[in-house]
Structure 1
Amino acid sequence: MSQPLPRGGTLLLAVIAGTAIANNYSVQPALAAVAADLGVPLSVIGLVPTAALTGCMTGFALLLPLTDHLAPNRLLTAQLTALAAALTLAAAARGPVLLLAAYLLIGAAASVAAQAGNIAGRHAPPGRGGTGVAVVAAGMSAGILLSRLAGGALTDALGWRRMLLVFAALALLGALAAATLLPRQRPHTDSGYRATLKALPPLLLHQPGLRRAVATGGLWYFAFNLVWIALTLVLAQPPHSLGPTAIGLYSLAGLLGFAALPFAGRLTDRYGPHTVITAAMLAAAAGTALLATGLGTPPVTALGLALFDAGCFAAQAANQSRVIALDPARSGSLSSIYLAVYFTVGALGTAVAAPLLDAVGWQSTALTALSASLLAAVLGRR
């Protein structure tokens, strides 16, 4: 039996997840300032987000399984301290090589956000695991949505180096809170960490539920990246010809997804993840249909994005709850496989968005995403 979280523990994990994952995105508005300060081309500094994403995927694969071996207070304290150290290293960088190396470490340490969600599900009271995962997912969503705004504002006010130090201080505060408040019980396991890593690939072969979760989640994350990348490109072109600020305002539609997550968690606990995933994917498909047909009308576009984002966010929280429930004692390993494949499939959506948009146009691109959402709805019932 896992030691329960203290009162407010789930909220603490949500805050930790949000402030940690924000570090993968907060530097993006400052890239031009970083390039000018270091005296290197913007094309070189543009590799920083790629380094952060690469580090994060590595963290999912190698560090998330540690939730099956270490007590939550020790694990999150160590990883948040490492995150603060990596941010401090980036703030002190005088050249691109050290900065890129630091962002590989930042991305890896920021995978603590996924560990927080896993811990919330594992240590939730009986019948409340879906709610715990959803609350932490809401924190992650808030961190992603607000990170660029916070990073840009802090850079304007303090400069990019001090902006990174502010985020380092937040990581240290999170480490202190984790050390003080999170459970100290070490998970019981019969295998060592190295054996756990060796056992990761066969999990897909031996866990049909994990395969279904990976296939379902991969479909909507493919659709999510496909829609957002293609939409950004098409809105910048005639006849829309919107500027970056106007396009960026559409991201506020994602706030509906953030607001819907706790509700989706309660529905998952009451009706099960399969029902929530199917309903969420139907909502995402409806949003995609609006985007395919109503892009010339801003309110329709905003409504379409709100439904699309809310559907994808709710489905993701329910799907992660399903993965954790497969085997709570090995939930870190299962989540590691799930997220690694999930992000890989999502990266395909990012890669094909521009070529597909050029080849078949916006409506056919949106219909491709709609088809992926409907297929995910069908798979979500199984």
Structure 2
Amino acid sequence: MSPPLPRGGTFLLAVTAGTAIANNYAVQPALTAVATDLDVPLSTIGLVPTAALAGSMTGFALLLPLTDHLAPNRLVAAQLTALAAALALAATAHHASVLLAAYLLVGAAASVAAQAGNIAGRHARPGRGGTGVAVVAAGMSAGILLSRLAGGALTDAFGWRRMLLVFAALALLGALAAATLLPRQRPPASRGYRATLAALPPLLLRRPGLRRAVATGALWYFAFNLCWIALTLALAQPPHSLGPTAIGLYSLAGLLGFAALPFTGRLTDRYGPRTVIGVSMAAAAAGTALLATGLDTPWRTALGLALFDAGCFAAQAANQSRVIALDPARSGSLSSVYLVVYFSVGALGTAVAAPLLDALGWQATSLTATGALLLAAALGRR
């Protein structure tokens, strides 16, 4: 049995997850300034978020399984130190190629956010695993929601290079706290790291519970990316013709999902992941169905997005709890497979959003998302 986290350990993991994942997004408001400073086209610097995402996928595949092999204090501290080094490299870059390479490393190191959720679930006290995962998920959500605001404000105040150094300093502080406070006991791994990586692909074939969790999560992440990308495009076009600031304000609807996550964790521990996933997907589908009625009324659009985001966030926390509970001793490997497929299918939703919107219009696109959510609800209850 894994030793429980010390007092404040779950909160530390939540802060770690939020500040780490924020680095994938904080630079986005500064991309124009970066392009000007490096004297390269904005289209080139626009590849920075893509590099961060590619790095994160690599981290999920190669680094997340390390939670099955290394003590939490050493693993989290080492990865946060690597994140600080990658951010420092990005802050001193004078060529776009160096910056893109640095952001591959930033994305990979930022996958410590997923490790934090896994550690919280594995080292939670009996009957509190869902709550631990949900608290860390709330930290990640806060990091994603606030990252662009913090990155933009720090860039305006200090410039983009010093903004990155501020985030590097936060990573180093997190590394020091993790090395001091997180459990020092190494998991009793039954196989080596290479054998663990080789065993990842067959897990989907051998674990029916993992297949159901992957299929369920992938469906709602497909719907999440499809709906949000299509929404931003639809609001920018006539008859709405909203500017970036007005469109960005709709992202505040995600605060409902952030606020609901700790409550979701308690419900998961009490009633089980399947019940929470079913209710969450029903709420998310109600949100997209409301959005399908039109985007002419701001309060209705905001309400639809609030239900949609809250449902997806809550279901993700419950589903991750379910993945960890399949086999706590191999939860890093199981979570690795889950997140790689999850993000891959989510990327498909991003890719088809614009063509689907152009071909079918907003109503049909949002109803497509509704269908994916209802299918996820059905699979999640099995």
Name the TM tier (shorter chain): over 0.9
Matched with 1:136 is 136
2:68 partner amino acid: D
Matched with 1:174 is 174
Matched with 2:64 is 64
State the Cα distance separating 1:294 from its structure 2 match. Answer: 3.5
- What is the 5 A alignment of 1:356-367? 356-367=356-367
2:183 partner amino acid: P
- What is the 5 A alignment of 1:206-245? 206-245=206-245
Matched with 2:256 is 256
Matched with 1:38 is 38
**Unpaired stretches in structure 1, ≥5 consecutive residues:** none
Matched with 2:90 is 90
| In structure 1, distance between residues paired with 2:179 and 2:103 | 25
| In structure 2, distance between residues paired with 1:272 and 1:123 | 18
Matched with 2:273 is 273
| In structure 2, distance between residues paired with 1:237 and 1:106 | 34
Q: 1:53-92 CA distances to partner (integer Å, 9 max, x unpaired)?
A: 0000000000000000000000000000000000000000
Q: TM-score, normalised by structure 2?
A: 1.00
| In structure 1, distance between residues paired with 2:312 and 2:381 | 16
Counting aligned pairs with the same residue, the percent is 87
| In structure 2, distance between residues paired with 1:6 and 1:224 | 35
| In structure 2, distance between residues paired with 1:331 and 1:166 | 33
| In structure 2, distance between residues paired with 1:212 and 1:337 | 12
| In structure 2, distance between residues paired with 1:293 and 1:177 | 49
Matched with 2:153 is 153
1:159 partner amino acid: G
Match of 2:317, SS? helix
**2:294·2:363 contact (CA, 8 Å) conserved in 1?**
no
Matched with 2:110 is 110
- What is the 5 A alignment of 1:192-341? 192-341=192-341
State the Cα distance separating 1:295 from its structure 2 match. Answer: 1.2
1:227 partner amino acid: C
Matched with 1:75 is 75
| In structure 1, distance between residues paired with 2:45 and 2:64 | 28
State the Cα distance separating 1:3 from its structure 2 match. Answer: 1.0
2:324 partner amino acid: I
**2:264·2:318 contact (CA, 8 Å) conserved in 1?**
yes
Matched with 2:183 is 183
| In structure 2, distance between residues paired with 1:84 and 1:189 | 28
| In structure 2, distance between residues paired with 1:380 and 1:97 | 43
* Larger deviation, residues 285-294 vs 226-235: 285-294
State the Cα distance separating 1:366 from its structure 2 match. Answer: 0.2
| In structure 2, distance between residues paired with 1:148 and 1:357 | 26
| In structure 2, distance between residues paired with 1:144 and 1:266 | 23
State the Cα distance separating 1:186 from its structure 2 match. Answer: 0.2
Matched with 2:8 is 8
| In structure 2, distance between residues paired with 1:79 and 1:336 | 16
- RMSD, matched Cα: 0.3
| In structure 2, distance between residues paired with 1:225 and 1:252 | 16
* Larger deviation, residues 290-299 vs 307-316: 290-299
| In structure 2, distance between residues paired with 1:190 and 1:161 | 44
1:290 partner amino acid: L
Match of 1:316, SS? helix
Match of 2:183, SS? coil
| In structure 2, distance between residues paired with 1:249 and 1:136 | 24
Q: 1:135-172 CA distances to partner (integer Å, 9 max, x unpaired)?
A: 00000000000000000000000000000000000000
- Runs (4 or more) in structure 1 with deviation over 6 Å come to none
1:381 aligns with 2:378: no
Match of 1:293, SS? coil
| In structure 1, distance between residues paired with 2:186 and 2:294 | 53
1:23 aligns with 2:15: no
How many residues are aligned here?
382
2:89 partner amino acid: L
| In structure 1, distance between residues paired with 2:257 and 2:223 | 16
State the Cα distance separating 1:24 from its structure 2 match. Answer: 0.2
State the Cα distance separating 1:190 from its structure 2 match. Answer: 1.2
1:250 partner amino acid: Y
